[in-house]
Homo-oligomer: A and B are copies of this chain.
Amino acid sequence: MLRIAVIGAGRIGKVHAATVAAHPQARLVLVCDPFIEAAKALAEPLGARASADAAEAFSADDVDAVVIGSPTPLHAEHVLAAARAGKAALCEKPVASSVEAARALADELATFEHPPVMVGFQRRYDPSIAKAQQLAAEGRIGRIEQLTIVSRDPAPPSAEYLAQSGGVFKDMTIHDFDEARFFLGEIVSVNAIGQKLDPALADVDDFDGAVTTLRAASGAVAIIKNTRHCASGYDQKVEVFGSEGEIVADNLRATSVQVNDATGSAQQEVYLDFFLERYADAYRDELTAFIDAVNNGSPVTPTVEDGVAALVLAEAAERSARSGQTVEVTK
């Protein structure tokens, strides 16, 4: 039983706390949030204690590992504190607010021995995406030539959220950048077209849609299609085209029900609503892999270096979208 503290009782903290509580190899012992009422409301029904101070997660003797769901600007600090306290850490994306900060974290972590640190790009553990990647890596479709990632939120977040999100590329596309790297490895250039599509978001200084193309060192190209809304739900799809075939990880629905009537045939349900539903299995399998890395020393993936690499692409995409030109990526 890995004894786990969750830092942050917000939306993503709730996901992780519930996932830990239900996991047969983990026990939730602590939830930390400066808003103590939120911490208690989350911890108590799950049989854990609450604290207003994240420091307790690092000092408590009955905590083996921390799951970090604090605000992005605190991620690096919390990861370092955990590592220094000898606790394993699973940190939500992005690992820091900037490439600079993320690199500083990676450099600092390299200076001492510490338990595993894993970054929360949960899509690598989604059963469908993981299966697609595995088949592709095994050569099921020959050499990979073109990768298409569709990632659309069901509805835009609030204007307040957007104002502090760091921009669509760091907030949303960051998952797609990691996913592209998961399939294609090293990326050498980025071209992004930012779109202002939604009249309701016209005043926000951010794109609400984007088409980003990445060239990989292998010669393959990735296409990422993002929008902040999608009428049929949380659109999460990947297509891997290769010299001998194509693998698609399609969207998921809550049930397998289809309807045939006067308006159409083979009509399926809309997609699962959002990441809590769509990636419930991914969060669970991510936690399993984290536990396995802590307990058995299995390799950590994705690493802090992967977190840095995704941020490099996000910053390159932002520059490309602002300048209108392709940006070369230096490691």
Contact = CB atoms under 8 A, between A and B. Distances in A.
A257 to B, nearest CB: 5
A251 interface: yes
A108 interface: no
A215 interface: yes
A261 B149 CA distance: 19
A135 interface: yes
Contacts of A189: 324
Contact of A243 (B145, B198, B232, B265): B198
A227 B253 CA distance: 28
Contacts of A24: 22
Contacts of A137: none
Given A261-B141, A326-B325, A219 B245 contact: no
- Listed residue (A248, A257, A263) with the most chain B CB atoms within 10 angstroms of its CB: A257
A140 interface: yes
A45 B221 CA distance: 48
B145 A197 contact: yes
- Of the candidates A197, A215, A233, A269, the one having the most CB atoms from chain B within 10 angstroms of its own CB is A197
Contacts of A197: 143, 145, 219, 243
Contact of A145 (B195, B250, B258): B195
A209 B232 CA distance: 31
The number of chain A residues touching the other chain, given as a range, is 35 or more
B266 A244 contact: no
Contact of A264 (B148, B243, B267, B325): B267
A262 interface: yes
Interface in A124-182: 127-128, 131-132, 135, 140-143, 145-146, 148, 152
A254 interface: yes
A256 B250 contact: yes
Given A146-B227, A197-B243, A253-B265, 9 more contacts: A128-B255, A230-B246, A232-B264, A235-B260, A246-B260, A249-B256, A265-B270, A267-B268, A324-B326
5 contacts: A145-B195, A146-B225, A244-B262, A263-B270, A267-B268
